[in-house]
Amino acid sequence: MVRLMYLVLVMSMRLAVLAQKDYEYPTLWNPSTIATSSVDYADGPAKLKGYLAYSNATIGPRPAVIVYPDWDGISNYERFRANLLASMGYVGFVADIYSQSVQQGPSLPAANRSALMAPFRSNSSYFRPRLLAALSTVRALSSDIVQKDKIFAIGYCFGGGGVLELARAWPNTPGLLGVGGFHAGPLVTAGPKAQPGNPLRINAFIGADDPGVTPDSVTAFKDEMEAANVTWAYYNYGRTVHGFTLLENPVWNGDKNVSNGYNAAADHASWWALRGILLEVFQLGNTTNPYTSVGGAYDYQTGIAGSKLMSA
C-alpha cells in the first residue's frame, strides 16, 4: 500500500508539468501509408476500445506490438508509439484498460486516475484478465493483417508495470513472445510471481534516478526473474527519472526534487534497444549475423521512423 501511494504521488507530480490539452506529437511517417481504426472489444462486462495501426504498404500478415498506456489512459502518446511501430512494418495496437466509459487522456483529473488505477494495482486477478483481453483481441484480428504467433507487448508507467503482470500470466498468453516495460511501476507484483520455465523475454527500461524504483524492488524483480529462469534484461539509464520517454515532459535538469522529466538519450537508446529485441523475438534478423538484419543493422522495413526519432 505504501508503494502504491508513493507511485501515485510520483505520477501526480508529472501532472503538474502537463497541460490539460493532449500533446501534439510529430508525424514521423507518411500518413498516407498508415491505416488506423478503433477496435471494440470487451473484458467481461467492461466495454473497451483499442486503437489499431498498420502500414498499408506492407504485404501479408505482420508481427504485432501491443501498447499499454500510462495512468491517464489512451492519449496521443500511445497512438504516436503505435504509429511508429506501424511505420516499421508491425501492427501497433493500443490497449484500453479503463473502458469506453472513461474520457481518457491528459484532461483526466489526477484523482480520477488514482481511483481508476488502484483496483488494478492492488489485485492481479483483476488486472491480468484486462491485459489478456487485448492479447486475445489482437489474435482475433484478420490473419491477413496479424501473425497471431508473433506478438510483443510494451507499456509505459502504469502500462509498463502492466506488461510485467501480463508476462507473469504465462502460460495463459498464447502468441506472446515477450514484453518491455518503460519507466515501469511497480517492478514487483502483489499477485503470483513468474512461473518457472516462463519462456517470454522480459525487459524493464528504467531511469536510475526514478524515485519510485527502490533498490529493494530492483533486487526483488531480479530475484523473481532468476527464480523463474526467465530471459530478462534490466536497462538502467543514468541521470534519468520517471517519464523519460514522454516528449511533453520538460527535460530533467538534475533536480532531485523533480521526479519526472524527458531524457532524449534514454528515450532513443531504449527505443533502439526495443527495435533490436523485436527483430530477435520475431526472427526478422539475419540469423547468421546477430548484428544485422536483412534490411540493414537493426532495421525492419524502411526503418524511417526510428531514424527520424533519433534526430527529432
**pLDDT 10s digits, 155-184:** 999 999 999 999 999 999 999 999 999 999
Residue 53: its H or E element: strand 46-55
Q: Is the pTM of this model over 0.85?
A: yes
Residue 110 in grid coordinates: 489526477
The model's pLDDT over 68-109, given as tens digits with 9 standing for 90+, comes to 999 999 999 999 999 999 988 899 999 999 999 999 999 999
Residue 4 has pLDDT above 50, yes or no: no
User: How far from the centroid of its chain's Cα atoms is residue 189's Cα?
Assistant: 17
Residue 31 in grid coordinates: 500518413
CA distance 278 to 209: 27
Strand order across the beta sheet in which 91-94 lies = 34-43, 46-55, 91-94, 62-68, 146-156, 176-182, 201-207, 231-237
* Least confident among 25-34, 184-193, 207-216: 25-34
* Least confident among 19-23, 203-207, 283-287: 283-287
pLDDT band at 57 (very low <50, low <70, confident <90, very high): confident
Backbone angles phi, psi at 61, to 5 degrees: -65, 145
> How confident is the model over 10-25, as a mean pLDDT?
60
**Cis? peptide before 186, omega within 30° of 0:** yes
Q: Enumerate domains of the chain plus CATH numbers.
A: 2-311 (3.40.50.1820)
